[in-house]
Structure 1
Amino acid sequence: MRRLLQILALELAGALAWPVAAWGGDSPPTGRTLGDAQRGALLIAQYQCGACHAIPGIASARGTEGPALAAYGLRSYIAGRVPNRPDLLARWIAQPSALVPLTTMPDMGVPEQDARDMAAWLSEQR
């Protein structure tokens, strides 16, 4: 039983560290806003996030397939599982299935900087 608990503790530690380490970069993310929020709003429209999500402040973003993104910056979790920090939100936008393998959110091929800018805008929504 003790060995099983040790294995579970190691797996949990690895699972919690992986999203940060997998993002890349030389230094660990700090949770601060990492992008240009104004550009992020334009990119959210460009990538047509509103096809699936209702997003106040984004013209024609009236989707109903995904959750509404109103006041997103006040949320505690991304997809109910990942802490809602701008760095992890950017990772989620770029590669959602890397953080939550069975998610229905598609990988849209969003480049890292675009994802950071989109995360910056979403994080500011209160």
Structure 2
Amino acid sequence: MLYILACALAWPVAALGGADAPSTGRALGDARRGALLIAQYQCGACHAIPGIASARGTDGPPLAAYGLRSYIAGRVPNRPDLLARWIAQPSALVPSTTMPDMGVPEQDARDMAAWLSEQR
């Protein structure tokens, strides 16, 4: 009985990215896949992104050490779930944003958010 209770209490912590969660960001998405998707969606056309070879854009803010930021677009708390929503539909969170809606599906956005959240 005690084992079942311990497992039930530990699961939500791991699922939310707590201390027992994998360091690859898999609680939200696949960070390794996210790096490939960032290149595929050509985020570097607007952003400079260390670790993404083609990402040298200057129209949007640089995304270096993104995981250390407090806010997305200076307005939305920088949490992985909100970052995924931002990537998928930026104008839904900040209607006045200049970031375009690139048609990123939910899972791709979660993977991209996982990679960005790991950047320190």
Q: TM-score, normalised by structure 2?
A: 0.78
Q: How does 1:1-126 map to 2 (within 5 A)?
A: 33-126=27-120
CA contact (8 A) 1:33 1:86 kept: no
CA contact (8 A) 1:30 1:87 kept: no
Report the alpha carbon displacement of residue 29 of structure 1 after superposing the two structures with TM: 18
Gaps of 5+ in 1: 10-14
CA contact (8 A) 1:90 1:118 kept: yes
Aligned residues: 118
SS at match of 2:101: coil
SS at match of 2:2: helix
CA contact (8 A) 2:90 2:99 kept: yes
C-alpha RMSD over aligned residues: 9.1
Cα gap change, 1:81 to 1:117, in 2 (>3 Å)? same
Report the alpha carbon displacement of residue 28 of structure 1 after superposing the two structures with TM: 20
CA contact (8 A) 2:17 2:25 kept: no
CA contact (8 A) 1:20 1:88 kept: no
Q: Describe the superposition over 1:62-112 as per-residue Cα deviations: whole angstroms up to 9, x where unpaired.
A: 000000000000000000000000000000000000000010000000000
In 1, distance between residues paired with 2:116 and 2:73?
A: 14
CA contact (8 A) 2:46 2:56 kept: yes
Cα gap change, 1:17 to 1:53, in 2 (>3 Å)? farther
In 2, distance between residues paired with 1:89 and 1:18?
A: 23
Report the alpha carbon displacement of residue 22 of structure 1 after superposing the two structures with TM: 20
Q: Percent identity?
A: 92
Cα gap change, 1:117 to 1:102, in 2 (>3 Å)? same
In 2, distance between residues paired with 1:103 and 1:49?
A: 15
> Which deviates the most, 111-120 or 22-31?
22-31
Structure 1 stretches of 4+ with a deviation exceeding 3 A read 4-9, 15-33
Cα gap change, 1:42 to 1:124, in 2 (>3 Å)? same
> Which deviates the most, 89-98 or 23-32?
23-32
Q: TM-score, normalised by structure 1?
A: 0.75
In 2, distance between residues paired with 1:21 and 1:99?
A: 27
